[in-house]
Structure 1
Amino acid sequence: MNAPPAATSRATALVAVGIALVSALFFTCTYVLNRAAAVDGGHWAWIASLRYLITLPLLWLLLRTQGASPVWRALRASPGPWLAWSGIGFVLFYVCLSAAAASGPSWLIAGTFQLTVVAGMLCAPFLYPRGDVRARVPMPALLAGAVVIAGIALMQAGEADGALDAQAWLAVALVAVSAFAYPLGNRGLLLHLERVGVELDATQRVFGMTLASQPLWLAIAAFAWWRAGPPGVEQVALAGGVALGAGVIATVLFFRATGLVRRDPTALAAAEAMQAAEILFATLIGALWLGEAWPRGIALIGAGVVIVGIVLFSAAAAHATSGKPRVLRARRGDRGA
């Protein structure tokens, strides 16, 4: 069955892109704090599980003003899809990202994860039913994604200063899996909610996926305790920072952005692609606050290419929605599937 026509205005598309860009700023803390925990001797399983174990009560407090009852009803009605998509979009995503932190530097992880700018688009033909407009890969967005990836590759080449060793290549492989798992889990849950006609806002969706993933996180935490003993105070503190910055603020903003344009494949791809700005934010923060060197030579050129790609994504989203009706349906916003 074909999806309902997209009802996304140009303004809505650009708002979604802006929100996603802000989410990328908060996501940036993940790489630095995870790498700090790994260098300090923290086990990857603790790095992964602590974030989501801490995120759950934070989201619960946030939802007290909005109500968690709709989430409980949705979980009880169809626990299978929630378990599956949270297992992919949260557990597989973050286990791979955390394990990579023990194998490679933060710049390598941050850069490789930007494969996510095309991951959602490439997964679309396998996720949406035949005939659904979202199953088609939007070529303008794909070309803009190729520009972003080319820029990131230049930045990576400037940072690498030579061949990568086996551990670094392992980190690249793990982060590549993570980059596909995150948008796939988000899109899969949006599609499930659409099919069953359940309306949940961004915070409720994040809370539901965090809650559904808890059995797996508890199992991973038990494994971490068995292999490395209890986590240290500093590791818990670092995980708390990631939980607040990335697990709550960034994830809710990202889910809101993708929810706003969930029926428009080009605008959805553009919102997902704003995660590419993470490598720019990481570079800027490192230079201004950590005293790291500013990118030079090929890395500086790469940063410029990434910025061009982000602008192209925004232009593609605005152009794709320019011909759509100005009057949106009553169910606008990020509510619904």
Structure 2
Amino acid sequence: MNAPARLALAAVGLALASALFFTSTYVLNRAAALDGGHWAWTASLRYLWTVPLMLPLMRGRWTPLWRAMRAHPGAWLASSGIGFVLFYACLSYAAASGPAWLVAGTFQLTVVAGMLCAPLLYRDARRRIPPAALVTGLIAFAGVLLMQRSQAGGRLDAQAWIAIACVAVSAFAYPLGNRGLMLHLERAGIELDATQRVFGMTLASLPLWLPFVAYAQLAAGAPPLRQVGLTGGVALGAGIVATVLFFRATGLVRRDPVALAAAEAMQAAEILFATAIGALWLGEGWPTGHAAVGALLVIAAIVLFSALVARRPPAAA
């Protein structure tokens, strides 16, 4: 196996690991919603938690990050506004409107969202949507849809449709913000690692979270301690571990559209993790009927993506 193929497989492995930690978002957010926690507190507290939790990781990394942010503040605000604020505000609102499996399942639109955003971002060969990657991504999403259909019993109420709309927006916002920042850094000739990018985007997002804090305080008062604790768990598991792993994975293959699409598509595994944890911890129903077929399709798509990147020729890197 050539070096680019090994790098692509490493990125896929990191992205798959990140999917496991990302799953805490759906389950813990839904737990906070079931306890009556306000969605705006759920959204903003995650990022308020993330900054102090990441400070120990920034030792020796702060100076180049600060220079990059000071040189181009607009790019950081735009990327974090889309990739963190719009993404997570919609996801948190959805958690108050639908069960964990529905939110996690709809978010799997992200397996094709990054590819579909490519023509809007790039001006080189990366603007072309890789057909094989797109077909494989659609297989994964078809599996997710089958799992959702089984869970819903074919019926969704108005609140569930609101959740679907919100999560669809967040599914496009997340890869768009991440890809947008990577492209800005590439054009500016700035090298930052995944930890620096996550911390920088979190820091840039803080002013944008202040209106959410004010709204949550007016609407619901101070957050309960359990909600504060749950959002701290999300910040650690999803905001730091999962996001750093995901940013590392996509950064490794940012110039290879097929491998980048494969890394993003590993988020499809979240529906498998979220369904199992939601059933075991929150008492939500296990998939039945077509759900088994859907789960097999998701697993098949993950295997197909791995095969695609493993067979990448050296020139593709």
TM over 0.5: yes
1:178 lines up with 2:170 in the alignment: yes
Following TM superposition, by how much is the alpha carbon of 1:222 offset from its aligned partner in structure 2, in angstroms?
Answer: 1.4
Q: In the alignment, which residue of structure 2 is the partner of 1:41?
A: 36
* 1: CA distance, partners of 2:229 / 2:87: 21
Q: In the alignment, which residue of structure 2 is the partner of 1:93?
A: 87
1:262 lines up with 2:221 in the alignment: no
Asked if the contact 2:23/2:273 (under 8 Å) is kept, the reply is yes
Aligned-pair Cα RMSD in Å: 1.5
* CA pair 324-138 structure 1, distance change in 2 beyond 3 A: same
* 2: CA distance, partners of 1:288 / 1:9: 40
1:277 lines up with 2:272 in the alignment: no
Following TM superposition, by how much is the alpha carbon of 1:160 offset from its aligned partner in structure 2, in angstroms?
Answer: 0.3
Q: In the alignment, which residue of structure 1 is the partner of 2:288?
A: 296
Q: In the alignment, which residue of structure 1 is the partner of 2:100?
A: 106
* 2: CA distance, partners of 1:286 / 1:39: 12
* 2: CA distance, partners of 1:294 / 1:227: 34
Cα deviations by residue, 1:97-134 (Å, 9 ceiling, x for unpaired) = 000011111110000000000000000001112xx111
- Using the size of structure 1 for normalisation, the TM-score is 0.91
Aligned residue identity for 1:31: Y
Cα deviations by residue, 1:43-78 (Å, 9 ceiling, x for unpaired) = 1110000000000111112112x3211111111001
SS of the residue corresponding to residue 36 of structure 2 reads coil
* 1: CA distance, partners of 2:281 / 2:148: 21
Cα deviations by residue, 1:202-248 (Å, 9 ceiling, x for unpaired) = 00000000000010112211111111111110010000000000000
Q: In the alignment, which residue of structure 2 is the partner of 1:248?
A: 240
1:324 lines up with 2:315 in the alignment: yes
Q: Which runs of 5+ in 1 are unaligned?
A: 1-6, 329-337
* 2: CA distance, partners of 1:80 / 1:292: 43
Following TM superposition, by how much is the alpha carbon of 1:8 offset from its aligned partner in structure 2, in angstroms?
Answer: 6.6
Following TM superposition, by how much is the alpha carbon of 1:295 offset from its aligned partner in structure 2, in angstroms?
Answer: 2.8
Asked if the contact 2:94/2:166 (under 8 Å) is kept, the reply is yes
Aligned residue identity for 1:145: G
Aligned residue identity for 1:324: A
* 2: CA distance, partners of 1:287 / 1:164: 19
Cα deviations by residue, 1:240-281 (Å, 9 ceiling, x for unpaired) = 000000000000000000000000000000000000000111
Aligned residue identity for 2:57: L
* CA pair 97-56 structure 1, distance change in 2 beyond 3 A: same
Following TM superposition, by how much is the alpha carbon of 1:290 offset from its aligned partner in structure 2, in angstroms?
Answer: 5.9
Q: In the alignment, which residue of structure 2 is the partner of 1:67?
A: 61
* CA pair 38-267 structure 1, distance change in 2 beyond 3 A: same
* CA pair 174-291 structure 1, distance change in 2 beyond 3 A: closer
* CA pair 58-45 structure 1, distance change in 2 beyond 3 A: same
Asked if the contact 2:8/2:259 (under 8 Å) is kept, the reply is yes
- Using the size of structure 2 for normalisation, the TM-score is 0.96
Aligned residue identity for 2:47: Y
* 2: CA distance, partners of 1:169 / 1:306: 23
Find 1:16's aligned residue among 7, 11, 14. Answer: 11
Q: In the alignment, which residue of structure 1 is the partner of 2:207?
A: 215
* 1: CA distance, partners of 2:281 / 2:133: 33
Amino-acid identity (%): 71
SS of the residue corresponding to residue 123 of structure 1 reads helix
* 2: CA distance, partners of 1:174 / 1:290: 22
Following TM superposition, by how much is the alpha carbon of 1:291 offset from its aligned partner in structure 2, in angstroms?
Answer: 6.3
Following TM superposition, by how much is the alpha carbon of 1:86 offset from its aligned partner in structure 2, in angstroms?
Answer: 0.4
Q: Which runs of 5+ in 2 are unaligned?
A: none
Q: In the alignment, which residue of structure 2 is the partner of 1:128?
A: 122
* 2: CA distance, partners of 1:201 / 1:175: 28
SS of the residue corresponding to residue 137 of structure 1 reads coil
* Larger proportion of helix: 2
* 2: CA distance, partners of 1:248 / 1:78: 24
Asked if the contact 1:71/1:208 (under 8 Å) is kept, the reply is yes
* 2: CA distance, partners of 1:286 / 1:47: 18
